[in-house]
Amino acid sequence: MIFSQTRKNTFLYYGLYNFFLLTYLITKSPFWTEVTYSYLTTTRFASFNWYIQIVYNSVLFLFYSEFLDLKLHHPRFHRFIKNYLSIQLVIGTLFWVYCIVTNNNLLYHSFFNFIFLPVSFAVLLYGLYIALSIPKKLGYFIIVGIVLYYGFAMLAYLRSNPNSIAEFPIKYFYIGIILESFVFLLGLGYKIKMVYLEKLEVQQAIIKEQRSLQILRENTQKELKQKLNEQEIELREALYEAEDEKLKSLQLHYENEISKLKLESLRNQMNPHFIFNALNSIKAFLVTNDKVQASHYLGKFSKLIRKILESSRNEVISLEDEIEILDLYVNIENIRLEPQIAFEIINKDSRSHRGIKLPALILQPFIENAIWHGLMLVKMDRRLTIELSHVLKVPCLIITDNGIGRRKAAEYQKNKLVKKSSLGLVFVQERLDYFNQKHQTHYRFEIQDVEESRGTKVVFYFE
Task: Report whether pLDDT(136) > 60.
Answer: yes
Q: Where are the domains of the chain?
A: 2-196, 242-461
Q: In the chain, pLDDT over 70 holds for what percent of residues?
A: 82
Q: What is the pLDDT of residue 289?
A: 65
Tell if the pTM clears 0.75, that is, is over it: no
| C-alpha to C-alpha distance for 417 and 435, rounded to whole angstroms | 37
| C-alpha to C-alpha distance for 243 and 239, rounded to whole angstroms | 8
Q: How many other C-beta atoms lie within 10 A of the C-beta of residue 282?
A: 20
Q: Give the confidence band of 461 by pLDDT, cuts at 50, 70, 90.
A: very high
Q: Which CATH number fits domain 242-461: 3.40.109.10, 3.40.50.300, 3.30.565.10, 3.40.50.620?
A: 3.30.565.10
What's the CA angle centered on 130, arms 125 and 133, to 5 degrees?
Answer: 140
334 DSSP 8-state letter: G
pLDDT digits (tens, 9 = 90+) for 324-356: 989 988 988 887 778 899 999 998 656 778 889
| C-alpha to C-alpha distance for 229 and 220, rounded to whole angstroms | 14
43: left (phi over 0), alpha (psi -120 to 50) or beta: beta
| C-alpha to C-alpha distance for 273 and 420, rounded to whole angstroms | 14
| C-alpha to C-alpha distance for 394 and 271, rounded to whole angstroms | 29
pLDDT digits (tens, 9 = 90+) for 288-325: 666 677 777 778 888 888 887 777 677 789 999 999 98
The separation between the first and the last C-alpha atoms of the chain, rounded to the nearest angstrom, is: 63
| C-alpha to C-alpha distance for 438 and 255, rounded to whole angstroms | 10
DSSP result, 244-292: HHHHHHHHHHHHHHHHHHHHHHHHHHHHHHHHHHHHHHHHHHHTTT-HH
Task: Report whether pLDDT(92) > 90.
Answer: yes
| C-alpha to C-alpha distance for 407 and 431, rounded to whole angstroms | 26
Q: How many other C-beta atoms lie within 10 A of the C-beta of residue 437?
A: 13
Closest CA to 431 of 326, 321, 322, 316: 316
Q: Give the confidence band of 245 by pLDDT, cuts at 50, 70, 90.
A: low
Beta bridge partners of 316: 359
Least confident of 35-39, 126-130, 241-245, 264-268: 264-268
Least confident of 96-110, 215-229, 294-308: 294-308
Task: Report whether pLDDT(264) > 60.
Answer: no
Task: Report whether pLDDT(283) > 70.
Answer: no
69: left (phi over 0), alpha (psi -120 to 50) or beta: left
Task: Report whether pLDDT(450) > 90.
Answer: no
Task: Report whether pLDDT(423) > 80.
Answer: no
Long-range contact list for 332-338, CB < 8 A, 24+ apart?
Answer: 332/278, 332/281, 332/282, 332/297, 332/300, 332/301, 332/304, 333/277, 333/278, 333/281, 333/371, 335/281, 335/282, 335/284, 335/285, 335/297, 336/281, 336/282, 336/284, 336/285, 337/371, 337/376, 337/382
452 DSSP 8-state letter: T
Q: Report yes or no: 292 and 299 within 8 Å, Cβ to Cβ.
A: no
Q: Give the confidence band of 447 by pLDDT, cuts at 50, 70, 90.
A: very high
For 69, the enclosing helix (H) or strand (E) is none
| C-alpha to C-alpha distance for 284 and 297, rounded to whole angstroms | 12
Least confident of 170-174, 319-323, 437-441: 170-174
Most confident of 66-75, 137-146, 151-160: 66-75
Q: Give the confidence band of 166 by pLDDT, cuts at 50, 70, 90.
A: very low
